Amino acid sequence: MDDAALIRAAQAGSGDAFEQLVGAYDQGVLRLALNLLRSPEDARDVYQEAFLRVYRNLHTFRFDCSFHTWLYRIVTNLCLDHLRKRKVRKMEPSTVETGDGTVDRLDNVAEQRAHADPQRALLSSELRDKIQDALSQMTDRERMVFEMRHYQGMRLRAIGEVLGTTEEAAKNCLFRATQKMRTALGAYL
């Protein structure tokens, strides 16, 4: 069944169709939320809230845009809310003080590369720090455009639709984001 048929079936009340829709998109949603928020706990919240919103509002979906765009609009709005809340309450620190020292919350984000070679692992860790610095230098919007284009492979037009802006504005955001990334990674180029 294609997306449109699944959506119609889910709108008619089919739980199976809804679960298939979730299964088709949920990995991308979780990955986007994790990349934008850099916190597995927050990504979990966004994942659940996004799909509950989809469930509650699917009957209002009128195929004016693709389901992917509609879903990602919900996800990016939720992520923006989380990022704004973090700024307001200065967010909990990324490290936790424990009896035996400091533990970084992001340490449980799986490192998928450079397991075997310690030298490569060190280089990779330095590089990731630089990339994190660059991402934190970006505005929320620049970061979203960069993440969606770079890590999700979305077209600029689709990103513009998700963020409720034009392709041109998304393009400008991508330029600025890339420049910031380039400045941060200058030593590696």
- Positions that interact with another protein (CB under 8 A): 15, 18, 22, 26-27, 30-31, 34-35, 38, 40-41, 43-44, 47-48, 51-52, 55-56, 60, 96, 98-101, 103-105, 107-113, 124, 127-128, 131-132, 135, 149-151, 155-156, 171, 174-175, 178, 181-182, 185, 188-189
Q: Min. distance of Cβ 62 from another protein in angstroms?
A: 13
User: What is the CA angle 7-80-21, rounded to 5?
Assistant: 15
User: Smaller CB distance to another protein: residue 67 or 146?
Assistant: 146
d(CA 76, CA 36): 9
* Spatial CB neighbours of 100, under 8 Å, sequence gap ≥ 6: none
Q: Min. distance of Cβ 23 from another protein in angstroms?
A: 8
Q: Min. distance of Cβ 83 from another protein in angstroms?
A: 15
d(CA 88, CA 68): 30
Q: Are 109 and 40 in contact (CB under 8 A)?
A: yes
